[in-house]
A and B are shown apart, each in its own frame.
Chain A
Amino acid sequence: MEPCVENGHGLDAFLRQVEDSLYTFLLRLIRDVEDAHGTARETVARVLRLERLGRVPEDSANRRALVFSMAYHLAMGHVRTRRWASTPALQEEPPPDRPLDELMALRQMERALDELPAPQRDALLLRVFGELRYADIAHTLRCTVELVRTWVCHARRSLAAHLQSEARAADE
Chain B
Amino acid sequence: MNEHDFERLSAYLDGELAPDDAASVEEALAQFPEWAKARKTLEHTDAWLRQSEEQPVPSIVPYAGTNRASGPVAQGSLSPSRVRVVALLALAVAVIGLALLNWLESDHAPSVPASPDDPQLTAHESPAVTSTPEESPAAESQAETEDPSLDTPVETEIADPVSYLSLEGTALGSNPCAVIRNTSTGTERVYRIGQVVIEGVTLKEVSSKAAVLDRNGEEILLRAGALKLEPPVLKSIDGLWRMILHVAGEEEEYHDLLRFQMDGTKLSAANNKDNSPFATGSIDERDVMLQFNDNGIVYVMRGTVDLEFDSLTMHFVGATPYESVDPQDVELRLTRVQDEDLADITELSSLREEVDKVREALLKYAEEHEARFPLNLNALVPDYLESLDALRTSENTKLEYQGGLRLARLEIPASLRFEEFQEGFAWDYRLREWDNLLMRSYGGAEWLHPEVVLSLTLQKPPIVFTLTARGDIYERQERPLYRGPEDISEMAERNAWISRDRANLEELGVAIRMFQNEHEGYAPGGWASAYPAYLKDPGILSSPKDDPGADSYLYLYPATNLDQLIAERAKDPDIGDTDPDAARQLQAQIPILLNRTDFPGDQPGRNVLFMNWEVQFLFTNSPEWREWVAPHLTPGR
Q: Is A56 an interface residue (CB 8 A)?
A: no
The contact of A21 among B53, B209, B313, by CB within 8 Å, is B53
Q: Does A31 contact B (CB under 8 A)?
A: no
Chain A, range 41-86, C-beta contacts under 8 Å to B: 41-42, 44-46, 48-49, 52, 77-78, 80-82, 85
What is the minimal beta-carbon distance from B376 to any residue of chain A, in angstroms?
43
A49 to B: closest C-beta gap in Å: 6
Query: CA of A112 to CA of B399 in the docked complex: distance in angstroms?
Result: 48
* A12: nearest chain-B partner, CB-CB: B64
Please tell me if the beta carbons of B54 and A41 are within 8 angstroms of each other in the complex: no
Tell me the complex Cα distance, A46–B147, Å: 15
Interface of chain A: mostly helix, strand, loop or mixed: helix
Q: Which residue of B lies closest to A16 (CB)?
A: B61
Contacts of B147 in A (CB 8 A): 52
B10 touches which of A9, A21, A38, A153 (Cβ 8 Å):
A153
A8 to B41, CA, bound (A): 40
Does B606 make an interface contact (CB < 8 A)? no
Contacts of B223 in A (CB 8 A): 45
Within 8 A of A (CB), among B34-51: 41-42, 44-46, 48-51
Considering only residues 1-39 of chain A, those with a C-beta below 8 Å from chain B are: 7-9, 12, 15-16, 19-24, 27, 34-35, 37-39
B147 shortest CB reach to chain A, Å: 5
**B80–A24 contact, CB under 8 A?**
no
* Among candidates B14, B52, B149, B208, residue contacting A152 with C-beta atoms closer than 8 Å: B14
B6–A163 contact, CB under 8 A?
no
Are B54 and A27 within 8 A (Cβ)?
A: yes
Kindly list chain B residues whose C-beta atoms are within 8 Å of the C-beta of A23: 54-56, 60
* Chain B, Cβ-Cβ closest to A13: B64
Q: What mask results when residues 313 to 324 of chain B are scored 1 for a CB within 8 Å of chain A, else 0?
A: 100011010101
Check A7/B44 contact, CB under 8 A, given A41-B60, A134-B16.
no
| CB–CB A109/B150 < 8 A | no
B209 partner, pick from A41, A77, A141, beta carbons under 8 A: A41
B interface residues, tally (CB under 8 Å): 55
Task: Point out the residues of chain B lying under 8 angstroms from A151, CB to CB.
Answer: 318, 322
Binds A, one of B71-79, B406-414, B549-557: B71-79
B59 at the binding interface (Cβ < 8 Å): yes
Residues of A126-163 contacting chain B, CB below 8 A: 127-129, 133-134, 141-144, 147, 149-154, 156-157, 159-160, 163
Contact partner, B7, options A77, A133, A150, A163, Cβ 8 Å: A150
- Residues facing A in B49-100 (CB within 8 A) are 49-56, 59-61, 64-65, 73-75, 77, 79-81
Known: A20-B55, A153-B7, A160-B41. A15 touches B64 (CB 8 A): yes
Cβ-neighbour of B59 out of A19, A21, A42, A82 (below 8 A): A19
B477 on the A face (CB < 8 A): no
Interface size, chain A (Cβ < 8 Å): 62
Q: Which residues of chain B from 274 to 298 have a CB within 8 Å of any chain A CB?
A: 289
B64 x A163 contact (CB < 8 A): no
Given contacts A45-B209, A48-B73, 18 further A-B contacts (CB under 8 A): A7-B149, A12-B61, A15-B60, A19-B60, A21-B53, A22-B60, A34-B172, A35-B80, A41-B210, A42-B209, A48-B74, A106-B52, A117-B326, A128-B49, A143-B317, A151-B322, A153-B6, A160-B42
- B-to-A contact residues, CB < 8 Å: 6-7, 10-11, 14, 16, 41-42, 44-46, 48-56, 59-61, 64-65, 73-75, 77, 79-81, 147, 149-150, 172, 207-210, 223, 289, 300, 302, 304, 313, 317-318, 320, 322, 324-328
List the 10 shortest-distance A-B pairs measured between CB atoms, nearest first: A12-B64, A23-B56, A153-B10, A38-B208, A45-B74, A153-B7, A19-B60, A48-B73, A118-B327, A40-B60
